[in-house]
Structure 1
Amino acid sequence: MTEYSIWNQLSSLSFKQYYLDANGIKTRVLETGQGDPLILLHGTGGHIEAYAKNFKSLSKHFRVICIDMVGHGYSDKPNRPYTIDYYSQHLLDILKALNLTSVYLSGESLGGWVAAWFAAHHPEYVKAMILNTPGNVTNNIETMKKLKESTVRAVVEANYENVRNRLEWLMYDKSQVTEELVEVRYQIYKQPGFVQAVHNIVALQDMETRLKYTWEPSWCKKITVPTLLVWTDHDPTSTVDEAVLLQEMIPGSKLIVIKDAGHWPQWEKPEEFDAIHYQYFIEGDI
């Protein structure tokens, strides 16, 4: 387990963690590397540490900027539903605070949904993007229910077992859930105010709210930036068939499937995940 610890992944890097003011929202950021900026966006209930295994490799080619999205991690948690347009505005405010005018985007799960929405509405900021297991394209009710219940339980009934169960649901190889990862997420979920925040986090699992932002050609066809869909063969939130549906919605998008991984290929298959980013963003070939 030790060789995969989060600290071991960071210990050989020059990196900085800091907080910035994104239009009034105190936002946690981890930054490392040089080159064109690459923004990494985590999933529902996630945090910066979800990309711990990727910083070292990606920082060789990019200025990697990973954030705790609004309501998540150690960023501010305003008491309001966290909807896709709200996350997108937060991302825009971060780019403005960092004086960034052109970036690569890579978003996992919820982060992929946010990245796509952002690219559809603010294409001038996006050079290209990767949507990593954005999941549940067809709004499967059972998937929404399971995600909502397990996320809320991990926070409202916060203990190591519930947090571990939530993390194991993400993985094909359950042994990838280390004690350290459980501890990191447990401490985040035990923060004052997180019980209130988690109900705002899962607002998108309620159909009435979700339908305003669901994947549809009406807005997906506005995505004009180069887009790669990264799926897996064991994603608990959706099948590869759903990936094909999304590919048809986003003009010119490409699809690649990572084998033997669940919802977090960046954690389970980091070498392959990082290589895909280099090949697509730097070499322009996949």
Structure 2
Amino acid sequence: MKNILFTALFGICFSIVIAQDGTKVPYGYNESVGQYFEVATDTKLYYEIYGEGEPILMLHGGVYGYINEFEFFIDSLSKNYQVICLATRGHVKSDIGHEPFTYEQRARDAKKLMEHLKIEKAKVIGFSDGGFTAYRMAADYPESVERMVVIGAGDSPEGSGVNYGYSEEKLMKEAGGYFKKRLAAMPEPERWNESLQWLNALYENEVVSEKIFKKIECPVLLMAGDKDQYSNPETLLKAHGFIKESSLSIVPGCGHVVFYCNWNAVWAVVEPFFKKQ
């Protein structure tokens, strides 16, 4: 079944997540719930869990992305679900590891987290970089993904990749204050530039297209802003055409981080999608 939803709900919800003691929950830096697990003998990844119920695995974006970008999702979903937030390799509290990044590797890491937590099947939300990981996870481990939401990640065929030229120097110039906090939490801040070069190669060379999409069996909700500068609606429409059970939601007036642009519209589509059986 294929549906296209042109979501036309406006208004941005900037709710602040408040802990019981009146402070804002430090998602991604929450020492009271943060834990580690090993994906290799020399590589540990960080994760946080909120709420109880059916599991939902959250896969964040790359470079600027991290667990805390999902604050609205965590706040809303944790009321009825167990929300599992994984920090991918090279992002803040997780190790970089010693192998170049691939989406196959990222999907395997996510699968290992589920095994570590003794979870056989989960719903998945992937944004941007995490969206491509979600595609790969659903294709490689179909028995592990019940249904998933992919935001800001569309068809990425051979030859379409981009090397964004990320480097420590460039990012510190663009947003030094933002990355200073992240560097302070990294286990190997001296290797950040190495990690960024692996991300450049990932975005330039990885192919996530028809071959992978046609392996996906679970229901998928594809979502993007109509002004998304990284994965425009046309790339999501192509992915929608290849995934046999998919729906497409385009949010008008929004760019890449659509859930910050118009949270009400995003939640109005995601909530009922996850309630379906």
TM-based fold match above 0.5? yes
2:174 pairs with 1:162: yes
Q: Is the 8 A contact 1:9 1:56 kept in 2?
A: no
Amino acid at match of 2:48: L
State how far apart, in whole Å, the 1-side matches of 2:185 and 2:233 are.
32
Distance 1:9 1:223, change over 3 A: farther
Distance 1:129 1:90, change over 3 A: same
2:253 pairs with 1:260: yes
Amino acid at match of 2:33: K
Amino acid at match of 1:144: V
Amino acid at match of 1:22: V
Root mean square deviation, CA, Å: 3.0
- Where structure 1 has 5 or more consecutive residues not aligned to the other structure, the ranges are 165-178
State how far apart, in whole Å, the 1-side matches of 2:133 and 2:76 are.
24
Residue 229 of structure 2 corresponds to which residue in structure 1? 236
Residue 189 of structure 2 corresponds to which residue in structure 1? 191
- Provide, for residues 99-156 of structure 1, a one-character-per-residue CA deviation record: whole Å limited to 9, x for no partner: 1101001100111111111111111111100111114635675x713xx22xx13x23
TM-aligned CA deviation for residue 251 of structure 1: 0.7
SS of the residue 1:29 aligns to: strand
The correspondence for 1:83, drawn from 102, 118, 129, is: 102
Distance 1:84 1:202, change over 3 A: same
Residue 29 of structure 1 corresponds to which residue in structure 2? 47
Residue 93 of structure 1 corresponds to which residue in structure 2? 112
TM-aligned CA deviation for residue 42 of structure 1: 1.0
TM-aligned CA deviation for residue 283 of structure 1: 3.9
Residue 173 of structure 1 corresponds to which residue in structure 2? none
Residue 209 of structure 2 corresponds to which residue in structure 1? 215
Q: Is the 8 A contact 2:226 2:251 kept in 1?
A: yes
Amino acid at match of 2:91: H
Alignment of 1:36-115 (within 5 A): 36-45=54-63, 46-115=65-134
TM-aligned CA deviation for residue 52 of structure 1: 2.0
State how far apart, in whole Å, the 2-side matches of 1:183 and 1:3 are.
25
Relative to structure 2, which stretch is displaced further, 269-278 or 106-115?
Answer: 269-278
Identity %: 22
State how far apart, in whole Å, the 2-side matches of 1:85 and 1:134 are.
16
State how far apart, in whole Å, the 1-side matches of 2:15 and 2:235 are.
35
Distance 1:182 1:260, change over 3 A: farther
How high is the TM-score relative to the length of structure 1?
A: 0.79
How high is the TM-score relative to the length of structure 2?
A: 0.81
2:199 pairs with 1:205: no
State how far apart, in whole Å, the 2-side matches of 1:4 and 1:140 are.
41
- Where structure 2 has 5 or more consecutive residues not aligned to the other structure, the ranges are 1-13
Q: Is the 8 A contact 1:163 1:186 kept in 2?
A: no
TM-aligned CA deviation for residue 4 of structure 1: 5.1
Residue 6 of structure 2 corresponds to which residue in structure 1? none
Distance 1:18 1:269, change over 3 A: farther
State how far apart, in whole Å, the 2-side matches of 1:115 and 1:228 are.
12
TM-aligned CA deviation for residue 266 of structure 1: 2.5
SS of the residue 2:72 aligns to: coil
State how far apart, in whole Å, the 2-side matches of 1:273 and 1:204 are.
28
The correspondence for 2:35, drawn from 18, 30, 34, is: 18
- Provide, for residues 32-82 of structure 1, a one-character-per-residue CA deviation record: whole Å limited to 9, x for no partner: 111111111112222111112321111112111111112222101113210
Number of paired residues? 256
TM-aligned CA deviation for residue 96 of structure 1: 0.8
